[in-house]
Structure 1
Amino acid sequence: MSQTTQCDIYQSLSDFMKMAPNFDGQTRQEIESFFAWCMEGMDTDSEKLLATLFIKALNKKINSESIGENIYLGKYEISQIQLFDILIDKFPFVKYSQHITNSAIVEEMRGSREVTIMDIGIGLGTQVLNIIEKAKSLDGLEKLHVVGIEPFGDALAKAETTILGSNGKVPFEITFTGIHDSVEKVDFSTIPVLGGKFIVNASLALHHIQTEQQRREIIAKIKSLNPSAFVLIEPNVNHYETDFYRRFKNCYNHFYSIFQVIDRIENISNNDKNALKLFFGREIEDIIGKEDKDRFEKHEPATHWIGRLKESNFSIKNDFLQSPVEAGCGVEIAYHKEGFLGFTHGEETVLAVIYAN
């Protein structure tokens, strides 16, 4: 695609977003025509596919039947297991951020007989399983206690089963305590003291906390538990922005970079790449399509999280994170003076890893 056409796509989207939510009949027709044009060739054109996802999200404010009834999304569907495998094994932002955090956590565990890991947003427990696998090489570790906080009960149950299933396969005992709730509703005083070195992990979880006050309170509560390490992975973009047009610009730059990286992933089909893009389309729908009170994906720049950590008397320890030499797919990993390890494509730093204690 030529640079001129790329600019035209962004400019058209930008013009429409400036008008939101006040669309007259002519503008609605222009948006519908633009949507139809983007659908032609979007299979092999990231910018067109990205634009259709923004228009689908914007349709929450337009209510166009021709846009709303379109069922094109189904042709890119793949199984959740296949999608999950691509995210973990191929997508550099997830693959290398978790590799870096897992290595840092296991290094922090070194020399301890007993360790407790509290994982905020444990999901299916995949990251903890990878930590357990890495920890097999540690000398002297006898007990690992896992505290999993997760609002989705089915995922939490699966995490418990798979994590406890590692008992007998590793040279240490594993226990599991599940907390079925969102982290902002957890009474930290009721969490049992399980013993040993205490580590907190929060991978792509804290931005789901809805308010500024709640975010500050959660970090303060974590500090009160005196962890030896608190490791965070967070998108580095301001989707907490209340101004709709500014939020659109932030969102477009963020996901444009993500889609460009997906296009460069090797050894997966174009259909799988589009399925992965649609996975992120759900976030675009949340950020652009929903009213602020209903939104879930309220990402913030890494510097905001670092500010809260420092307010709660955490120290930032960038040097505890070891970066791989090459992430591939046009992604560069580098330390930022503000206190985080950033994953950058072009001019956009998409993701941040933060280590505090």
Structure 2
Amino acid sequence: MMQFTETYCPSPLHKIPPLPNLPVSKNQMYRARPWPGFPTPKSLGNFGDANCMEQLLVHCANAIESNDATLAQQILWVLNNIAPPDGDSNQRLTCGFLRALIARAAKSGNCKLFTAMANVHANDLSMNNHKFSIIELASFVDLTPWHRFGFTAANAAVALEGYSVVHIVDLSLTHCMQIPTLIDSIATRLEGPPLVKLTVAGAMEDFPPMLDLSYEELGSKLVNFARSRNVVMEFRVIPSSSSNGFSSLIEQLRMQQLIRVENGEALVINCHMMLHYIPEETLSSGVPNTSSPIESTSLRTMFLKALRGLDPTIVVLVDEDADFTSNNLVNRLRSAYNYLWIPYDTVDTFLPRGSKQRQWYEADLCWKIENVISHEGPQRVERLEPKSKWVQRMRNASFRGVAFSEEAITEVKNMLDEHAAGWGLKKEDEDLVLTWKGHNVVFATAWIPA
């Protein structure tokens, strides 16, 4: 983390360096919201364009990284006045990055004004700590296809025929919210429902969205729901952490492998937006005596190879199609800004301003932005990788991709019909990709041992 060389932050008197090739909107003028120590100009001019705001964020990130506290402070002041938290989608997106940059700048502790600003914005982000009830979370994840897309595609892939026992290992960001719809689909099998064994990694980290009850209580509710559908379910939670590649979960599954093979169980590994929390190559796994430091210290590579060693029947991998892994702050900022405009854009289509759900939704996004921008090292856990990288990882781990059935594609399309017109679906080889206005959002892939 950078250390500012200044011990105080004087009000900047010089102008921001010119921003080249920025589109100008004649109609966008903003009333300045003063910060302590700054004069209030009559107008900030035409800084409201999304491209301009991105450029300002880049200039600010560069100023922070080069320890130019005065310039960073000046640009943050401009951003504060053109990106209100209650503005349009681009302004709210920029406000999230503004807060993240303030938090990054404040970490040095050398500038009292940055620290004060960070404290003010920290109060605004209190919604990050909200713990959902089951009903709230189920409603929350159903708001958009962001999660439902993966649920629908995965359920079609894992509703296996011909097995009397199906063991599902659920690595999910949404606390098993996919399982009730999976139970419904399994319950209608012509040969009768199988015995369902559900194993959940009780993650030790608190990533939003958070749940207000324990996994034991959640498991009891799921078992009762399955019983109401005439499906017998066994539930087990294994405390495990993404920070070490879910090592305790893998070990428990390995110990049961012989019994599973003898009983002819199907082993389904469902990975829903959780694997990107496993550290990638930029972090050391502490493996000694390695000849190839990059490959051998990648916990993601080690995790996938361990999965392959379990000989699963099928692995479904669903995640967001973006790249947040760069060690360069500006590159990471650009990548995140040009991906996270999508959820801010979509929220205007289904949630009114001021609603609690909208506050929760955007607090979740702000948590992600702050983690990507203001944290480094093990604290930076939002390390998304694009579909192409995960596909290569799976192939390197000796998995082979399988195509989703036409029935699965039809189900996804029917689900998308329930949402705003901007959502779309496209096929890329064997994979399915959710799109918003033509831009890739979330991918779903299915794999079997090669």
> What TM-score results when the alignment is normalised by the length of structure 1?
0.88
Correspondence for 2:368: 283
Pair 1:342 & 2:433 matched: yes
Pair 1:19 & 2:63 matched: yes
Please state whether the residue corresponding to 1:332 is helix, strand or coil: strand
Name the stretch that deviates more: 79-88 or 250-259. Answer: 79-88
Residues 200 and 230 of structure 1 are in contact (CA less than 8 Å); yes or no, is this contact kept in structure 2?
yes
Residues 142 and 171 of structure 1 are in contact (CA less than 8 Å); yes or no, is this contact kept in structure 2?
no
Q: Measured at CA, do residues 342 and 66 of structure 1 come closer, stay the same or move farther in structure 2, by a change above 3 Å?
A: same
**1:105 pairs with one of 151, 158, 162:** 158
Pair 1:189 & 2:254 matched: yes
Pair 1:222 & 2:304 matched: no
Q: Distance in 2 between matches of 1:229 and 1:206?
A: 16
Correspondence for 1:131: 182
Q: Distance in 1 between matches of 2:241 and 2:58?
A: 35
Q: Distance in 2 between matches of 1:248 and 1:308?
A: 25
Q: Measured at CA, do residues 202 and 38 of structure 1 come closer, stay the same or move farther in structure 2, by a change above 3 Å?
A: same
Shift of 1:200: 1.0
Residues 166 and 267 of structure 2 are in contact (CA less than 8 Å); yes or no, is this contact kept in structure 1?
yes
Pair 1:324 & 2:381 matched: no
Please state whether the residue corresponding to 2:350 is helix, strand or coil: coil
Please state whether the residue corresponding to 1:69 is helix, strand or coil: helix
Name the stretch that deviates more: 92-101 or 117-126. Answer: 117-126
Name the stretch that deviates more: 140-149 or 326-335. Answer: 326-335
**1:164 pairs with one of 213, 220, 223:** 223
**How many residue pairs end up in the alignment?**
352
Name the stretch that deviates more: 310-319 or 270-279. Answer: 270-279
Pair 1:65 & 2:115 matched: yes
Counterparts of 1:187-266 in structure 2, within 5 Å, are 187=251, 188-191=253-256, 193-194=259-260, 195=263, 196-212=265-281, 213-265=298-350
Q: Distance in 2 between matches of 1:218 and 1:55?
A: 35
CA deviation string 1:209-260 (max 9, x = no partner)? 1134211121112122222211011111111121211111110011011211
Q: Measured at CA, do residues 86 and 250 of structure 1 come closer, stay the same or move farther in structure 2, by a change above 3 Å?
A: farther
Residues 92 and 344 of structure 2 are in contact (CA less than 8 Å); yes or no, is this contact kept in structure 1?
no
Shift of 1:123: 5.4
Counterparts of 1:5-44 in structure 2, within 5 Å, are 5-38=49-82, 40=84, 42-44=85-87
CA deviation string 1:313-352 (max 9, x = no partner)? 2111133342315454312211113x42112224531211
Q: Distance in 2 between matches of 1:214 and 1:73?
A: 31
User: Could you tell me the percent identity over the aligned residues?
Assistant: 16
Correspondence for 1:307: 392
Q: Distance in 1 between matches of 2:404 and 2:126?
A: 45
**2:238 pairs with one of 156, 170, 179:** 179
Pair 1:55 & 2:98 matched: yes
Residues 32 and 66 of structure 1 are in contact (CA less than 8 Å); yes or no, is this contact kept in structure 2?
no
The one-letter code of the counterpart of 1:150 is G
The one-letter code of the counterpart of 2:413 is P
Question: Which structure has the greater CA radius of gyration?
Answer: 2
Instruction: Give RMSD over aligned pairs.
Output: 2.7
Q: Distance in 2 between matches of 1:85 and 1:170?
A: 18
Shift of 1:141: 2.4
Q: Distance in 1 between matches of 2:128 and 2:388?
A: 36
Q: Measured at CA, do residues 226 and 77 of structure 1 come closer, stay the same or move farther in structure 2, by a change above 3 Å?
A: closer
The one-letter code of the counterpart of 1:94 is H
Residues 171 and 274 of structure 2 are in contact (CA less than 8 Å); yes or no, is this contact kept in structure 1?
yes
Shift of 1:165: 2.0
Shift of 1:181: 0.8
Please state whether the residue corresponding to 2:70 is helix, strand or coil: helix
The one-letter code of the counterpart of 1:189 is R
Please state whether the residue corresponding to 1:351 is helix, strand or coil: strand
For structure 1, which runs of at least 5 residues remain unmatched after alignment?
A: none
Please state whether the residue corresponding to 2:49 is helix, strand or coil: helix
Shift of 1:276: 0.9
**1:116 pairs with one of 156, 159, 167:** 167
Shift of 1:52: 1.6
CA deviation string 1:35-62 (max 9, x = no partner)? 431454x314122221121121112331
**1:148 pairs with one of 200, 225, 228:** 200
Q: Distance in 1 between matches of 2:73 and 2:312?
A: 56
Q: Measured at CA, do residues 65 and 233 of structure 1 come closer, stay the same or move farther in structure 2, by a change above 3 Å?
A: same
Residues 151 and 180 of structure 1 are in contact (CA less than 8 Å); yes or no, is this contact kept in structure 2?
yes
CA deviation string 1:268-312 (max 9, x = no partner)? 555333431221110111111101332111110111111111112
Residues 308 and 399 of structure 2 are in contact (CA less than 8 Å); yes or no, is this contact kept in structure 1?
yes
Shift of 1:74: 5.0
Please state whether the residue corresponding to 2:200 is helix, strand or coil: strand
Q: Distance in 1 between matches of 2:234 and 2:177?
A: 16
Q: Measured at CA, do residues 53 and 138 of structure 1 come closer, stay the same or move farther in structure 2, by a change above 3 Å?
A: same
